[in-house]
């Protein structure tokens, strides 16, 4: 890829492999983007498997409109990757994943009402969780809804589809997805016995977030 250092591509490919190794997606599900500079981003190509992504399966796109600059056709979800990178200057990485427990909860009745704050990692690293109704995957309508939800959230649940994590760097986007999946596993396995964190504990974490942000 012209004027993109090989080390950048290698770092991105390695992060894709690590996201898949955490069980955040299977086969061709999942995609990731990473801001390269003020006007461009890298994104996984359409149809590729994150677990075995190669440098040839990385596409270079324009942030302003998501258009392809170099490489293979980008992920069908590159519209919301571009949109989030456009409106969130604090974000460099967008990860679209489909982990088992989080996706299960996203298919349940009343999914939008779930309190995910069962472990400190949720309020400390992720904050409030957005929920997006089911809209056809890959559609401009879904991209618009995801971008709107991510304007003031770092993680969104897409009903009957998967999740989106956005963070300042590759590791944080993966970490937040892994912690969110753990919270969802606790909620699913614990059932009625699961108790959310006390509200005072969460407000104390939010104060801490404000100080360290």
Q: By the criterion CB under 5 A, which residues form the site for Zn ion?
A: 77, 137
Nearer to Zn ion, 32 or 129 (CB): 32
Give the tokens for residue 121: 């990692």
Nearer to Zn ion, 100 or 137 (CB): 137
Nearer to Zn ion, 112 or 137 (CB): 137
Q: What is the CA radius of gyration of the chain?
A: 17
Neighbouring C-beta atoms of residue 183, cutoff 10 Å: 24
Nearest approach in angstroms of CB 105 to Zn ion is 16
Residue of 209, 55, 25 whose CA lies nearest to 122: 209
Q: Which residue is nearest to Zn ion (CB)?
A: 137
Residue of 158, 57, 56, 42 whose CA lies nearest to 93: 42
Nearer to Zn ion, 77 or 92 (CB): 77
Nearest approach in angstroms of CB 15 to Zn ion is 18
Nearer to Zn ion, 80 or 179 (CB): 80
The runs of H, that is alpha helices, within 22-72 are: none
What are the residues whose beta carbons fall under 8 Å from the beta carbon of 204, sequence distance 6 or more?
none
Nearest approach in angstroms of CB 49 to Zn ion is 14
Nearest approach in angstroms of CB 96 to Zn ion is 5
Q: Is 138 exposed, middle or buried (0-12, 13-18, 19+ CB in 10 A)?
A: middle
């Amino acid at each position: 890829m012209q004027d993109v250092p090989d080390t950048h591509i290698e770092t991105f490919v390695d992060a894709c492999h690590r996201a898949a190794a955490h069980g955040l997606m299977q086969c061709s599900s999942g995609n990731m983007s990473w801001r390269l500079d003020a006007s461009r981003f890298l994104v996984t190509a359409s149809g590729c498997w994150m677990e075995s992504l190669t440098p040839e399966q990385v596409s270079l796109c324009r942030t302003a409109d998501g258009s392809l600059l170099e490489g293979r056709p980008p992920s069908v979800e590159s519209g919301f990757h571009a949109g989030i990178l456009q409106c969130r200057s604090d974000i460099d990485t967008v990860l679209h994943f489909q982990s088992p427990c989080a996706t299960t909860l996203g298919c349940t009745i009343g999914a939008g009402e779930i309190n995910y704050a069962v472990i400190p990692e949720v309020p400390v690293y992720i904050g409030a969780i957005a929920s997006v109704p089911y809209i056809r995957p890959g559609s401009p309508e879904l991209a618009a809804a995801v971008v709107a939800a991510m304007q003031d959230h770092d993680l969104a649940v897409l009903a009957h589809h998967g999740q989106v994590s956005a963070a300042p760097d590759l590791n944080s986007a993966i970490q937040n997805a892994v912690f969110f999946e753990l919270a969802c596993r606790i909620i699913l396995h614990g059932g009625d016995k699961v108790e959310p964190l006390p509200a005072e504990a969460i407000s104390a974490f939010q104060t801490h977030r404000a100080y360290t942000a």
